[in-house]
Amino acid sequence: MAGINPYPDGAIEKEYNQRSIKKRLEAFFLDNVGRVVTRQMIIDVSIDPITKIQPENWHQRLSELRTDDGYTILSNRDRAYLTVQQYVLESSEKRETAGKRVLPTKAAWHKVIERSGNRCEWADGGYVCGLQHGDLDPVGGGTVKLTPDHMQPHSVNPNADPSDITQWQALCGRHQVIKKNFWDSSSGKINTLAVMQALPQIEKLIAYSFLKEYFGD
C-alpha cells in the first residue's frame, strides 16, 4: 500500500532540536510513520539546529536506524510505489537486530587514521576515494567526516576485534552507505541478496527472468 506524503510542498512543519543527527531523524520518522518523506526533508532535519551546517554523514545515520536500531525504513529499492529519494517508515516497531555495533578502541582508530593519511580508504576497481576529513564531498555534499567501517560487514561478523586495526578501515559517510553489507573487504566476497535488493526495479525484473529461465517454472 502506497504511503501518504504529509508535506506536498516539501516543507517540514516542525523543528527537530535533538542533539544528535540520528535522534533528530528518528523523531522525524516516528512523527511520520507510514508516510512518504523525501531525501531533502531528511537533509533538512539532519542540519545542525545551532550551526545550520549540513552534515555529510546523514546517510550513515539513516543506515544505522535501519541496521542498528531495527527500524524498517523502506526506499524505492524495497517498494515499487516509492520513487528515487523517497522513504517511508513502515512501522514504529523495531526488528530484532544483529547486536550492538562494535567500534574500534581509540588507540586502534588512531592507528587506522595514521595508516589512511586521514583519508577515506574506499577502493573499488582501481578507484580510490581519498577524500580527507574536513573536505567538501563533491558528490554527496556536506563536510567529510571519517568513521570506522568493519572490513567484514557487521551482519556477517558483529564481534570484530576492537583493537585489531586489520579489521577496520576509515570511510567517508557516502562510501559507508555505498558499501552497506554488499562487500566483505577482507575476503572480497559479495552479499548477492543485498545487491539484488539494491537494484532498480527494471534490473530486478531482468534478474527474475534470468532465474526463472535458469531454474525453470
Provide the residue-wise pLDDT of the chain in tens; the chain has 217 residues.
444 454 544 567 788 999 899 999 999 999 999 999 999 999 999 999 999 888 877 888 888 898 778 898 988 877 888 888 899 998 998 876 645 667 899 999 999 999 999 999 988 767 889 999 999 988 877 889 999 988 876 656 667 889 999 999 999 988 887 776 665 555 556 667 666 766 667 888 888 888 888 788 6
CA distances from 143 to 126, 132, 139 (A): 24, 10, 11
Residue 144, amino acid = V
| Residues 36/82, Cβ–Cβ less than 8 Å | yes
pLDDT at 2: 46
Q: What is the pTM (predicted TM-score) of this model? A: 0.51
Nearest-angstrom CA–CA distance, 46 and 23: 9
Radius of gyration of the chain (CA): 18
| Residues 66/32, Cβ–Cβ less than 8 Å | no
